[in-house]
Amino acid sequence: MDKIGVESGVARAIFSAVRAGMVGFIDIIVCRNTELLYWVRDGKRRNVLMSAVQHRQAKIFGMIYDFSGTKARLLSSRDNLGNNILHVAGMLTEFSPLDHITGAALKMQTEVQWFQGVENLCNPMYKNERNYAGLTPKQVFMRTHTKLTKEGEQWMKDTSSSCTVVGALIVTITFAAAFTVSGSND
């Protein structure tokens, strides 16, 4: 992991490709030189696998995770704030691509599934590790998802109210139809 490589256009291209979900590009680059996986961005000191987790790029994460011999070293790295990969999975950032999902509750469900998916692949001791702020990964998840949780609760209330109104209309129509005699008034 040389300083020239980290600051080069190649490093910027790799991290931009991860953010954009360009699986083919990452596959070609990594197949040519697996050492590129260990490069980090200077600002946060996150490697390519951590970047894939941050940007919720499941295909890239799976591809990198499946490379033999790289898992332990990549998963065990920490960023400049002492966050392990599970802390990064628990962070809701502007890079979390949730715009294509409608409804806050469904967004929250997606986030929980992502966190649990990464958690299942990590060393169990990562769950209790604390970052420099003294937070475990679950605490980071809860703190960064507070607003989404509240929006999800409101979305669920609104949806249940709508369903109640529709249900009442259906019952009313069914009740009226049951007592209406078919044919004329004779």
Which CATH number does the domain housing residue 12 bear? 1.25.40.20
Report if residue 39 sits inside a domain. yes
Structure tokens that stand for 182 in this block: 């078919």
DSSP letter (8 states) at residue 182: S
Q: What are residue 47's phi and psi, to 5 degrees?
A: -80, 180
The verdict on residue 40 lying in a domain is yes
| Distance (Å, whole) CA 150 – CA 2 | 44
Assess if residue 185 is contained within a domain: no
- Is 85 inside any structural domain? yes
Q: Does 186 fall in a domain?
A: no
pLDDT digits (tens, 9 = 90+) for 37-65: 888 876 778 889 999 999 999 999 988 88
For the chain, what is the domain count? 1
**Quick one: average pLDDT of 160-177?**
72
Largest distance between two CA atoms of the chain = 94
Strand partners of residue 98:
none
Residues of the domain holding 163: 3-179
Residue 51 lies in a domain: yes
| 76-135: pLDDT as tens digits | 889 999 999 999 999 987 766 666 667 777 888 888 999 999 999 888 999 999 999 999
169 vs 130, higher pLDDT: 130
31 occurs within a structural domain: yes
156 in a structural domain: yes
Q: What is the mean pLDDT of residues 139-168?
A: 80
User: How much of the chain, in percent, has pLDDT values that exceed 90?
Assistant: 34
Helix/strand/coil (H, E, C) string of 128-159? HCCCCCCCCHHHHHHHHCHHHHHHHHHHHHHH
